[in-house]
């Protein structure tokens, strides 16, 4: 089983114990899954009675991909080292009593990842982590190192606590959490990203690569073959038609600590999102609107959102205003006084009633689309800060149907999550609604 140079680098790094998280990949056919499986087979063999888990986003995908590759590897002479393979629990037991468990994330059926509670392992891996949710990575960190029965190797080394993962480029959390930090040299010291492209795999015929070049759309080729993380697929029917990156994206941070902040929230279980804006008229009379920050709470917790806002903007809360998803006005039965979400947030942040400017109902998608695009087209100075990556991604990629409604059928598709887009819609509706109405009146349009 001869590894490529990139696979060898990733394999040695994993077994060295020097890193706690290694992400390998960045393009198709770079040998990602093969490396992941072979590395865990080696860890099982090296440390008797050790226990490891490999995760894929769903059971059908796990059976169709990762397990197929695993069986191919085992059939290359490793079968004598396998004692049993329980097809019900997808647990492989090695002759030295080590175990390798295959599990689906199955987020749609288990959003709290309860199936992983009590799982005791030395470490684990996620195949195609870009298809899984961010909290899956942290859940794996939580469970790794809890299995205490692994024996040392022949040299007396103990089993490392390590998370391994593979990926393809994606415009989602894995880019923010790993790739962008790797690119800016700000990854945690115990983390490592090793890029691997199809051209790093000498076993792939050149004819196959040329076939991909000729037949794939340019976007697909750049992303999956060349491993371009920054290329973005153009929306077919964009919600934000008037958005222009050159016009609306700032190259520098925009937050002004001397000006009030405006907060807009969108209530989702995964994630609970918010954006921070500033709106002011400068000394020349020019209206300026800034999206200066975004906040994402992974588990949808109101207390965590309160803590996140306090941590960043505690000194600015006395003069802030807060709006967002009108669905947050519903009473919460878990509260003794049936307080709604906004009342809980107001209490936690110490906000007064006058600071809460939440509408009774959300704007329709159709009306919101018209308003947002009018603002983007005509507002004197509308800018989004570079740290608002989720907002920038959404305004570039979110699509709508023929009626103007945002398409949200499949949250696994990043353009159909639209969480930050909703925060922006609510902010524009509340904080720029008066400007919008005056502009329509000025040009002679009677909005009914």
What share of the chain in percent tops pLDDT 90? 71
Residue 409's Cα: distance from chain center in Å? 17
Angle between helix axes 365-378 and 433-442 (nearest 10 degrees) is 70
Question: What is the Cα–Cα distance from 95 to 86, expressed in whole angstroms?
Answer: 14
Least confident of 197-201, 391-395, 426-430: 197-201
Question: What is the Cα–Cα distance from 273 to 268, expressed in whole angstroms?
Answer: 7
User: 321-340, pLDDT tens digit by residue?
Assistant: 999 999 888 755 355 545 68
Q: What global pTM score does this model have?
A: 0.68
Among 274, 272, 239, 264, CA closest to 394: 239
Mean residue pLDDT of the chain comes to 90
Please say whether the beta carbons of 151 and 47 come within 8 A. yes
Please say whether the beta carbons of 98 and 50 come within 8 A. yes
Query: Which band of pLDDT confidence, cut at 50, 70 and 90, is reported for residue 224?
Result: confident
Quote the pLDDT of residue 412.
64
CA 141-146-147 angle, to 5 degrees, is 125
- Contact partners, residue 65, CB within 8 Å, separation at least 6: 33, 56, 127
User: 103-154, pLDDT tens digit by residue?
Assistant: 999 998 998 899 999 999 999 999 999 999 999 999 999 999 999 999 999 9
CA-based end-to-end distance of the chain: 71
Dig out the tokens for 376 from the structure: 């983007």
pLDDT at 202 over 80: no
Mean of the pLDDT values across residues 206-235?
A: 79
What share of the chain in percent tops pLDDT 70? 94
Residue 175's Cα: distance from chain center in Å? 7
Please say whether the beta carbons of 116 and 139 come within 8 A. yes
Dig out the tokens for 375 from the structure: 């603002």
Among 162, 107, 167, CA closest to 133: 107
Structure-derived torsion over alpha carbons of residues 170, 173, 179, 181, reported in degrees to the nearest 10: 160
- Name the residue with higher pLDDT: 425 or 173: 425
Among 369, 361, 358, 359, CA closest to 421: 369
Quote the pLDDT of residue 413.
67
Structure-derived torsion over alpha carbons of residues 87, 91, 92, 96, reported in degrees to the nearest 10: -140
Question: What is the Cα–Cα distance from 300 to 298, expressed in whole angstroms?
Answer: 6
Quote the pLDDT of residue 236.
79
Mean of the pLDDT values across residues 169-198?
A: 90
pLDDT at 1 over 70: no
Please say whether the beta carbons of 227 and 195 come within 8 A. yes
Question: What is the Cα–Cα distance from 390 to 171, expressed in whole angstroms?
Answer: 9
Quote the pLDDT of residue 392.
93
Quote the pLDDT of residue 447.
55
User: 345-369, pLDDT tens digit by residue?
Assistant: 999 999 999 999 999 999 999 999 9
pLDDT at 218 over 70: yes
Mean of the pLDDT values across residues 146-170?
A: 95
Mean of the pLDDT values across residues 237-248?
A: 93
Give residue for tokens 């390798």: 100
Among 419, 430, 431, CA closest to 305: 419
pLDDT at 21 over 50: yes
- Report the length, in residues, of the chain: 448
CA-CA-CA-CA torsion sign (37, 43, 49, 50): negative
Domains, the chain, in order of start with CATH, read 5-225 (3.40.50.300), 245-442 (3.30.420.280)
CA 348-305-250 angle, to 5 degrees, is 120
């Amino acid at each position: 089983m001869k590894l490529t140079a990139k696979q060898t680098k990733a394999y040695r790094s994993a077994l060295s114990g020097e890193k706690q998280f290694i992400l390998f990949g960045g393009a198709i056919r770079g040998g990602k899954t093969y490396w992941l499986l072979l590395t865990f087979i080696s860890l099982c063999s090296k440390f008797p009675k050790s226990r490891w888990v490999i995760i894929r986003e769903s059971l059908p995908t796990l059976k169709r991909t990762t397990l197929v590759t695993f069986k191919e590897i085992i059939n290359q002479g490793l079968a004598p080292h396998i004692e049993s393979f329980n097809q019900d629990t997808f647990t492989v037991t090695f002759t030295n009593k080590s175990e390798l468990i295959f599990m689906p994330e199955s987020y749609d059926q288990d959003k709290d990842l309860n199936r992983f509670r009590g799982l005791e392992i030395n470490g684990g891996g996620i195949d195609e982590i870009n298809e899984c949710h961010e909290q899956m990575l942290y859940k794996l960190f939580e469970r790794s190192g809890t299995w205490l029965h692994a024996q040392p190797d022949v040299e007396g080394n103990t089993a490392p606590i390590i998370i391994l993962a593979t990926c393809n480029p994606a415009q989602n959390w894995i880019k923010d959490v790993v790739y962008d930090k790797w690119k800016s040299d700000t990854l945690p010291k115990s983390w490592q990203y090793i890029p691997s492209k199809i051209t790093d795999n000498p076993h792939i015929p050149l004819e196959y690569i040329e076939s991909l070049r000729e037949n794939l759309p340019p976007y697909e080729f750049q992303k999956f073959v060349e491993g371009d993380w920054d290329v973005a697929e153009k929306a077919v029917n964009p919600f934000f038609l008037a958005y222009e990156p050159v016009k609306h994206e700032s190259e520098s941070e925009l937050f002004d600590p001397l000006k009030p902040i405006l907060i807009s929230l969108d209530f989702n279980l995964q994630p609970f999102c918010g954006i921070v804006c500033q709106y002011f008229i400068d000394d020349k009379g020019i209206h300026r609107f800034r999206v200066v920050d975004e906040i994402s709470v992974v588990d949808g917790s109101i207390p965590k959102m309160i803590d996140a806002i306090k941590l960043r903007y505690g000194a600015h809360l006395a003069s802030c205003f807060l709006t967002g998803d009108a669905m947050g006005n519903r009473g919460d039965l878990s509260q003794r006084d049936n307080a709604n979400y906004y009342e809980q947030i107001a209490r936690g942040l110490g906000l007064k009633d006058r600071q809460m400017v939440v509408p009774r109902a959300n704007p329709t998608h159709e009306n919101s689309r018209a308003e947002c695009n009018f603002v983007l087209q005509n507002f004197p100075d509308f800018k989004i800060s570079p740290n608002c990556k989720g907002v920038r991604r959404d305004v570039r990629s979110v699509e709508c149907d023929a009626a103007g409604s945002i398409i949200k059928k499949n949250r696994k598709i990043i353009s159909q999550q639209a969480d930050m887009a909703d925060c922006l819609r609510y902010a524009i509706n509340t904080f720029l609604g008066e400007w919008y109405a005056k502009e329509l009146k000025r040009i002679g349009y009677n909005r009914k």
